[in-house]
């Protein structure tokens, strides 16, 4: 069973995918959001290509746990996605995942220009791996 992780932003969507055992997350790609329809179509293609059974979406909560404007945008996009796919969608708290992704890329000496291209994909890996790790504790 494969699980897909999504880091949904205004301009791009980071995509990560689990291994077949659901133990590890790997970055797959960054979808540039030209339109919701195009982004959803690409997500549907990945679901079919990788035989994805479940989707984990990062929900950007405020530090106090409340939902702000960015979380509302994510919820709106996911509502559109739900109408186009028949897969379970789970929300994962994504506070500080982008910060963690940025730190790891800086530590790896990735240039600012290259970081911009992969940051969402790396954040999606953090979101998905957090979900997978949580499942192992149950």
Predicted pLDDT at 1 = 80
Rounded to whole angstroms, how far apart are CA atoms 17 and 34?
22
Q: How confident is the model at residue 112 (pLDDT cuts 50, 70, 90)?
A: confident
3-state SS string for 44-79: HHHHHHHCEEEEEEEECECCCCCECHHHHHHHHHHH
pTM (two decimals)? 0.87
Q: Tokens for 54?
A: 């479940």
Give CA–CA dist 22/15, Å, rounded.
Answer: 15
Residue 110, burial from CB neighbour count under 10 angstroms (0-12, 13-18, 19+): middle
Residue 120 has pLDDT above 90, yes or no: no
Ordered structural domains, the chain, with CATH: 2-137 (3.30.420.140)
CA distance 8 to 3: 16
Both tokens of residue 23?
């133990």
Residue range 97-110: mean pLDDT, rounded: 69
Question: What pLDDT digit, counting tens, does each position of 29-86 carry?
Answer: 999 999 999 999 999 999 999 999 999 999 988 778 788 888 999 999 999 999 999 9
Mean pLDDT of the chain: 88
């Amino acid at each position: 069973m494969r699980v897909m992780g999504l880091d949904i932003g205004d301009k791009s969507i980071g995509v990560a995918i689990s291994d077949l055992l659901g133990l590890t997350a790997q970055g797959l790609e960054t979808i540039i959001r030209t339109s919701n329809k195009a982004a959803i179509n690409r997500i549907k293609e990945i679901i079919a290509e990788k035989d994805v059974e479940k989707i984990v979406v990062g929900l950007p909560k405020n530090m106090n746990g409340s939902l702000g404007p960015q979380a509302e945008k994510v919820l709106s996009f996911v509502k559109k996605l739900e109408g186009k796919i028949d897969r379970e969608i789970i929300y994962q708290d994504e506070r500080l995942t982008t910060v963690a992704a940025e730190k790891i890329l800086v530590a790896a000496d990735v240039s600012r220009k290259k970081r911009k291209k992969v940051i969402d994909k790396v954040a999606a890996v953090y979101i998905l791996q957090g979900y997978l790790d949580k499942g192992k504790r149950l």
